[in-house]
Chains A and B, each alone.
Chain A
């Protein structure tokens, strides 16, 4: 075909006026791109140029494609019939379209795949049949499509995987069967699809899989089983050695077994939230050297921290709502690339040393049972910005516990049992929360916290150090608010909405404002004078 085009372009100019009435045409060298979309057409336009390479007939009212109607369009590569009223496509409708690469039939009224019409489209690469009413995919309907790479059958009425029809598509690379009514995936359902890279099965009713449902899919990299009714972990994935992205969130799976992903060493992401998962095998997430994010929430039966050996690239680990009582001493040896660690809502009592987690930026340990901090616990965390230890039982905190944290800006120790706060290493804080520590009655020195902006203290008088006690501006006279003679910062008394907004804005404002204001609560006032009454 390229040779014919080259010859044609030199010898004979294409007759002008080949654009069908009311359609819009663009020239593409010798070829013609014809747009007849949304014209209310009920039949194919007449006198289409043989040099038409792209024909858009979408969003019309075409109900019938007569056999051989497009016979002469040997250069046609793309045909769009989306959004018409086709209920049936007869044999020969696409006869002569030797070069057709893309055929769009989505949003029509088809009840079955038009197998006879598709027979000799040997160059077809993309076939869209999505958003029809297809419940039948006849055996052999795709047999002639030797070049097919992309197949859309989503948003139809399929109740089972069309195993036999798919059997000949060894060139297929991407397929979606999403948004159908498929309830079961039999063994070897996709056995011949050796080139398939992407498979979407989301939003079906899949309740069960065979042990070998995905055998034969050696090229598969993305498998989407989200929004189904799976009760068991999909063991059939063990044959997918090239799998990179796996989704089975929003199902009904209650546990993830030992060695669950032993066959999938290339996994980058796994999505499985919104499952009633109560238990994880300790070895479930071992040997996943490419995995970056792991999020386990609400596994109430889980008492042991998972063994993550061989999963060294993990950057974000979240295990909340389980019953973990302790962490492995070798945590940071196993996870040297960890950046975010969220172990809130567990039963952790003691902490190991986090030395070796040099990239750790955020630690959430709130709502645990931690009762002491040692000097070595957080030593060496040169990237740590945020440390949340709220709602624990911290009574004993060694003096140098926070000394090795050069970029720490947020420390939350709300509702613990502190009686004193070691300030070594906290000079960079912008947010400090200590409310709920009834035994902490000491005054904090201004000079120890030069960058503080948001403070929550157990007692109002502890805010006095950060504000001039005699004049506490009320929000509506904020315009008069300025640094007073002594250069002290002014506290703003704000209600909850302002507080959140302030907090939100402060998060985005790395550089301290020239006029530095500290938001300290509970703010001292007429009935909470800044006199040390205790």
Chain B
């Protein structure tokens, strides 16, 4: 899965479509080419290179971009791209998420009654 590599740094150029993931290795970095980026990272596609980038918060396990989380670490609750230890006002916990409560001021009328 690698187009160009070096002994010290592993892969330095990936085939089109794959993401270059740089992992710290002592004082250097080692690159590898992945179809999807590991936990705590997201894949950023660009004109010239696709790279695995870090999600912003340590509490995020998987993200869409650096600021928008799609899966929080265990014990945290996800609401609109952010991780919470307890649900924000107007929402209630549901499995690993916070969802807009039945009667919250901001909840759309999705439920009847």
Question: Is the Cβ of B67 less than 8 Å from the Cβ of A173?
Answer: no
Name A107's contact: one of B35, B47, B67, B108 (CB within 8 Å): B35
A104 in contact (CB, < 8 A): yes
**Known pairs A106-B35, A126-B70, A197-B80 / 9 extra A-B pairs, C-beta < 8 Å:** A130-B43, A130-B45, A173-B80, A197-B68, A198-B65, A203-B45, A222-B67, A227-B47, A245-B67
A437 in contact (CB, < 8 A): no
In the complex, how many angstroms separate the beta carbon of B109 from the nearest chain A beta carbon? 12
In the complex, how many angstroms separate the beta carbon of A268 from the nearest chain B beta carbon? 10
A338 in contact (CB, < 8 A): no
A160 in contact (CB, < 8 A): no
Question: Is the Cβ of B46 less than 8 Å from the Cβ of A203?
Answer: yes
B101 in contact (CB, < 8 A): no
Name B64's contact: one of A83, A107, A150, A227 (CB within 8 Å): A150
Which secondary structure characterizes the binding site on chain B? loop
A134 in contact (CB, < 8 A): no
24 A/B residue pairs, CB under 8 Å, sorted by A: A58-B35, A59-B35, A82-B35, A82-B36, A104-B35, A106-B36, A128-B36, A131-B17, A150-B70, A154-B45, A173-B80, A173-B81, A174-B65, A174-B68, A174-B81, A179-B46, A179-B47, A195-B80, A198-B65, A198-B81, A203-B46, A219-B80, A222-B67, A227-B47
Please, what's the 1-or-0 string for B11-25, where 1 marks a CB less than 8 Å from any CB in chain A?
Answer: 000000110000000
Residues on A with C-beta less than 8 A from B46 are: 179, 203
Residues on B with C-beta less than 8 A from A245 are: 67
Mark out the residues of chain A between 116 and 144 whose CB falls within 8 Å of any chain B CB in the assembled complex: 125-126, 128, 130-131
B86 in contact (CB, < 8 A): no
Question: Is the Cβ of B45 less than 8 Å from the Cβ of A80?
Answer: no
Residues on B with C-beta less than 8 A from A227 are: 47
Given contacts A126-B70, A174-B68, contact A131 B45 (CB under 8 A): yes
Question: Is the Cβ of B67 less than 8 Å from the Cβ of A179?
Answer: no
Given contacts A128-B36, A150-B64, contact A174 B17 (CB under 8 A): no
Residues on B with C-beta less than 8 A from A125 are: 70
B1 in contact (CB, < 8 A): yes
In the complex, how many angstroms separate the beta carbon of A125 from the nearest chain B beta carbon? 8
A211 in contact (CB, < 8 A): no
In the complex, how many angstroms separate the beta carbon of A196 from the nearest chain B beta carbon? 10
In the complex, how many angstroms separate the beta carbon of A53 from the nearest chain B beta carbon? 14
Mark out the residues of chain B between 99 and 113 whose CB falls within 8 Å of any chain A CB in the assembled complex: 108
Across the A-B interface, give the 9 residue pairs with the lowest CB-CB distance, nearest first: A82-B35, A83-B35, A174-B64, A131-B17, A198-B68, A58-B35, A107-B17, A107-B35, A155-B45
Residue of B nearest to A38 (CB): B1
Residues on B with C-beta less than 8 A from A176 are: 64
In the complex, how many angstroms separate the beta carbon of A74 from the nearest chain B beta carbon? 17
Interface size class of A (residues with CB under 8 A): 20 to 34
A residues with a Cβ closer than 8 A to B are 2, 58-59, 80, 82-83, 104, 106-107, 125-126, 128, 130-131, 149-150, 154-155, 173-174, 176, 178-179, 194-195, 197-198, 200, 203, 219, 222, 227, 245
Residues on B with C-beta less than 8 A from A58 are: 35-36
Question: Is the Cβ of B108 less than 8 Å from the Cβ of A174?
Answer: no
Residues on B with C-beta less than 8 A from A219 are: 80
Question: Is the Cβ of B108 less than 8 Å from the Cβ of A194?
Answer: yes
How far, in angstroms, from A203 to B45 measured CA to CA in the complex? 10
Residue of B nearest to A101 (CB): B71
How far, in angstroms, from A130 to B45 measured CA to CA in the complex? 10
Residues on A with C-beta less than 8 A from B81 are: 173-174, 197-198
Residues on A with C-beta less than 8 A from B47 are: 179, 203, 227
How far, in angstroms, from A80 to B37 measured CA to CA in the complex? 12
Residue of A nearest to B80 (CB): A197
Please, what's the 1-or-0 string for B62-82, where 1 marks a CB less than 8 Å from any CB in chain A?
Answer: 001101101000000000110
Residues on A with C-beta less than 8 A from B43 are: 130
Residues on B with C-beta less than 8 A from A174 are: 64-65, 68, 70, 81
In the complex, how many angstroms separate the beta carbon of B52 from the nearest chain A beta carbon? 13
Count chain A CB atoms within 10 A of each CB in B17, B18, B95 and give the residue with the most. Answer: B17
Question: Is the Cβ of A59 less than 8 Å from the Cβ of B45?
Answer: no
Residue of B nearest to A219 (CB): B80
Residues on A with C-beta less than 8 A from B35 are: 58-59, 82-83, 104, 106-107
Residue of B nearest to A126 (CB): B70
Residues on B with C-beta less than 8 A from A179 are: 45-47
Residues on B with C-beta less than 8 A from A197 are: 68, 80-81
Name A198's contact: one of B1, B17, B18, B64 (CB within 8 Å): B64
Residues on B with C-beta less than 8 A from A173 are: 68, 80-81
Please, what's the 1-or-0 string for B31-59, where 1 marks a CB less than 8 Å from any CB in chain A?
Answer: 00001100000010111000000000000
Residues on B with C-beta less than 8 A from A203 are: 45-47
How far, in angstroms, from A245 to B65 measured CA to CA in the complex? 12
Question: Is the Cβ of A104 less than 8 Å from the Cβ of B45?
Answer: no
Residues on A with C-beta less than 8 A from B68 are: 173-174, 197-198, 222
In the complex, how many angstroms separate the beta carbon of A388 from the nearest chain B beta carbon? 33
In the complex, how many angstroms separate the beta carbon of A270 from the nearest chain B beta carbon? 15
In the complex, how many angstroms separate the beta carbon of A285 from the nearest chain B beta carbon? 23
In the complex, how many angstroms separate the beta carbon of B21 from the nearest chain A beta carbon? 14
How far, in angstroms, from A291 to B52 measured CA to CA in the complex? 28
In the complex, how many angstroms separate the beta carbon of B69 from the nearest chain A beta carbon? 10
Residues on A with C-beta less than 8 A from B64 are: 150, 174, 176, 198
How far, in angstroms, from A150 to B35 measured CA to CA in the complex? 17
How far, in angstroms, from A122 to B35 measured CA to CA in the complex? 25
Question: Is the Cβ of B80 less than 8 Å from the Cβ of A107?
Answer: no
Residue of A nearest to B78 (CB): A149
In the complex, how many angstroms separate the beta carbon of A153 from the nearest chain B beta carbon? 11
In the complex, how many angstroms separate the beta carbon of A474 from the nearest chain B beta carbon? 35
Given contacts A106-B35, A198-B64, contact A178 B70 (CB under 8 A): no
Given contacts A149-B70, A203-B47, A227-B47, contact A155 B65 (CB under 8 A): no
